[in-house]
Amino acid sequence: MRVPRRADLHAPPHVLAQLREGLAYVAGFAPIRAVLLLLALVSLLGMPYAVLMPVIASEVLHGDANTLGFLMAASGLGALVGALYLASRRSVVGLGRVNAIAAATFGLGLIAFSRSRSLPWSLALMLVSGCAMMIQMAASNTILQTIVDEDKRGRVMSFYAMAFFGTVPLGSLLAGALAERIGAPDTILVGGVGCIVGALLFMRELPQLRRLARPIYVSRGIVAAPDDPAAAVPVVSAPTDAASAGS
């Protein structure tokens, strides 16, 4: 990769000062805040389905270790399909809507999976859920990488890592505690409902988020300026790298 050399930026001397600045930036810009909150919600409520999978395989589907392996493989195959879909996109334009649809699809997949008592049907639902999970996670990363200021990129991506990786252990703890009381299937159902609610709230705010992000897209040549005769036609940006977005 050949990138233009940038002048060194003088960062604040203290880590806490940088952290406060990054937090204020994330909290003060609605598109970044909304993407991170949706990702954190999905990671907290939806992702912990994996820790309950052994219970589903043994007690619900009455299978063994092979059943668990098939379920996890189906989820992984779905994630691969989602990554290939994102890699086929030529522009970041429209990823906000894709992000919301993927979160809702993930939630629907989990709800249907929690009601399934058939291994073939469960495998198909795991394929769908894994695909939607990957699209939502990687689309969030791609959107953030596109709209963030260069001097805030590291700090924003640290919040991304916290929203994604940091909430999963907490969600797993909550899922385990809830599963003891209402059972693993109903716990997965509750997580799916939470993902759908978050997706609907994000979709409701999406028009305003687009208006706020559009000047950034225009300044970076992703979409044409409003006074440009070609404004209705998005300018194609570099292909979305789903592999790097998911890392």
Q: How far apart are CA 29 and CA 42, in angstroms?
A: 20
pTM summary value: 0.84
Q: Look at 73-77, 113-117, 226-230 and tell me which has the smallest mean pLDDT.
A: 226-230
pLDDT confidence bin for 60, thresholds 50/70/90 = very high
User: pLDDT at position 13, please?
Assistant: 62
Q: What is the pLDDT of residue 75?
A: 95
What pLDDT score does 240 carry? 42
Q: CA-CA distances (angstroms) from residue 58 to 48, 52, 54? A: 17, 10, 6
Using 50, 70 and 90 to split pLDDT, how confident is the model at 154? Answer: confident
**Which CATH number does 45-221 carry?**
1.20.1250.20
User: Cα-atom radius of gyration of the chain, to the nearest Å?
Assistant: 20
Return d(Cα 115, Cα 70) in angstroms, integer.
Answer: 18
Give me the chain's average pLDDT, please. Answer: 87
Where along the chain do its domains lie?
A: 45-221
What pLDDT does 193 receive? 97
Sequence-ordered list of residues with C-beta below 8 angstroms from that of 106, at least 6 positions apart, any chain: 42, 46, 129, 132, 133, 136, 192, 195
Task: Output the pLDDT for position 227.
Answer: 60
pLDDT at 203 over 90: yes
Q: According to the model, what pLDDT value does residue 61 have?
A: 93
